[in-house]
Homo-oligomer: A and B are copies of this chain.
């Protein structure tokens, strides 16, 4: 809920015209929830999803194995 408030504040009190929501791994579903609640419940007809990108990052974990983690980048924009 805190994330939603952050987005709403940026669009309303900070006058932002674009706000990005980014997440990695299992938090990707949370990012989608946040974007949906912000655009459908709080900023309906004012802000919409402009663009969504998915990607993945590879890194070595502590055991030296290569791990791939997915990322999402949701761009919200004033309508």
Contacts and interface: CB of A to CB of B under 8 A. Distances in A.
Interface of A: 25-29, 32-33, 35-37, 40-41, 49, 52-56, 68, 70, 72, 74
Given A28-B28, A29-B26, A56 B36 contact: yes
A75 to B, nearest CB: 11
Counted per complex, copies of this chain come to: 2
Nearest to A24: B29
Q: Which secondary structure characterizes the binding site on chain A?
A: helix
A41 B32 CA distance: 25
A52 B28 CA distance: 13
A32 B54 contact: yes
A67 to B, nearest CB: 12
